[in-house]
Amino acid sequence: MNRLVTFLTVLAFAACPATSLHAESPQAPTPQPLWANGAPDVTATADGDVPELLITQVESKTPTAAIVILPGGGYGGHAMGHEGYEFATWFQSMGISSAICTYRLRGKGNHGKGYGHPAPMMDAQRAIQTLRARAEALNIDPKRIGVIGFSAGGHLASTVSTKFLDADPDAADPIARVSSRPDFSILCYPVIGLGKPYTHKGSQRNLLGADASAELIASLSNEDQVSQKTPPTFLFHTEADKAVPVENSLQYYEACKRHGVSAELHVFPEGRHGLGLARDIPGANQWPQLCEAWLDRMGMK
């Protein structure tokens, strides 16, 4: 495994020169409720009870690719700045529309109790379905809709990349008539494994509670959920990440390769957890340019 880390680190440094990104946080789009009639089995409407989409639409004569953005925060909050708005601007600069999803989590709502699994997964799946169902109105290509997640948001992105809702053409709800499977996935210093030595315990506790069964924990340890249907995936991590060890990304990458899933992994030696665009971190600041090149090769630009 150490040999793999060294190789990927060298590859990442040699691939392209360091990039300099100066994206500013745009004015927040008008939030739109993710569930028009409220989330399933939720009647409360306090802060945290109403997940939203914040859509940034690219002006284009032809349909564009689009991506759902899932900020991190340990399933206890949303890092909306450096893992939300800044990435909406970044994707807009590439001609890709986006939607930040404020999925439900443990920190807010539900009369002070917050929300654990399956609420975040349901919200993220719904976000992908919403973009696909509204593709014509949003001028996006329904076959080029992806997901990006950071830290715990990366766990959520890997969850919806391994657990899909099939299209139900007979559903009364038009959004349920399309699949939730993303067409591509970007995982940034993601939490992946649960119940493992390298697990981020705070994320697991917030998502599943302190007394989750072994079966439930295993079902959401996503390196073990990868299948041939998992979408092409780009991953980036650092060896210096102490909060969420690089082993998370390594295991997911290896699982993708075992199942014939196209995957690209870049591991950098330096950089704390939660880097976002990593503008000021030598080496790691290459990852946005590497990802942009990957998106170009994937036909998403």
Domains and CATH numbers, the chain: 2-13+58-297 (3.40.50.1820)
Of 168, 68, 171, which Cα lies nearest the Cα of 126?
68
Q: Output the CA torsion sign for 291, 293, 294, 298.
A: positive
User: b vs e for 209-223, b when ≥16 Cβ sit within 10 Å of the residue's Cβ?
Assistant: eeebeeeebebbbbb
* CA separation for the pair 160, 296 (Å, rounded): 23
The pLDDT, as a whole number, for residue 30 is 76
What's residue 78's pLDDT? 97
Is there a contact between 71 and 155 (Cβ–Cβ < 8 Å)? no
**Which contacts (CB < 8 Å, 24+ apart) does range 169-177 have?**
174/133, 175/126, 175/129, 175/130, 175/133, 176/129, 177/133
> In one letter, which amino acid is 158?
S
Q: Where are the alpha helices (DSSP H) in 38-133?
A: 86-93, 119-133
Name which of 112, 110, 238, 253 is nearest 193 in CA terms: 253
Question: What pLDDT sits at residue 296?
Answer: 98
Helices (H), the chain: 2-15, 86-93, 119-133, 135-138, 152-160, 201-208, 214-219, 247-258, 287-297
Please give the chain's pLDDT, 301 residues, in tens. 443 433 343 333 333 333 333 334 445 577 899 999 999 989 999 999 999 999 999 999 999 999 999 999 999 999 999 999 999 999 999 999 999 999 999 988 999 999 999 999 999 999 999 999 999 999 999 999 999 999 999 999 999 999 999 999 999 999 999 999 999 999 999 999 999 999 999 999 999 999 999 999 999 999 999 999 999 999 999 999 999 999 999 999 999 999 999 999 999 999 999 999 999 999 999 999 999 999 999 999 9
Model pLDDT, residue 4: 41
Largest CA distance in the chain: 53
Q: Are strands 97-101 and 140-150 parallel, antiparallel or unpaired?
A: unpaired
| pLDDT value of position 107 | 83
Residue 295's pLDDT is: 98
Distance from C-alpha of 154 to C-alpha of 12, rounded to nearest angstrom: 20
The per-residue pLDDT for 20 is 33
Place of tokens 């990006």: 148
The confidence score (pLDDT) of residue 241 equals 97
Beta strands, E only, the chain = 32-33, 52-56, 64-70, 97-101, 140-150, 185-188, 233-238, 263-268
Q: Spell out the alpha helix ranges (H) of 241-286.
A: 247-258
In the β-sheet with 140-150, what is the strand arrangement from edge to edge?
32-33, 52-56, 97-101, 64-70, 140-150, 185-188, 233-238, 263-268
Residue 19 is predicted with a pLDDT of 35
pLDDT at 243: 96
pTM: predicted TM-score of the whole model, two decimal places: 0.91
- Distances in Å between the alpha carbon of 202 and those of 12, 205, 243? 30, 5, 10
pLDDT at position 29 = 75
Phi then psi for 234, rounded to 5 degrees? -110, 130
The set of residues, in sequence order, having a beta carbon less than 8 Å from that of 291 and lying 6+ positions away, is: 186, 234, 236
**Whole-number pLDDT of residue 5:** 39
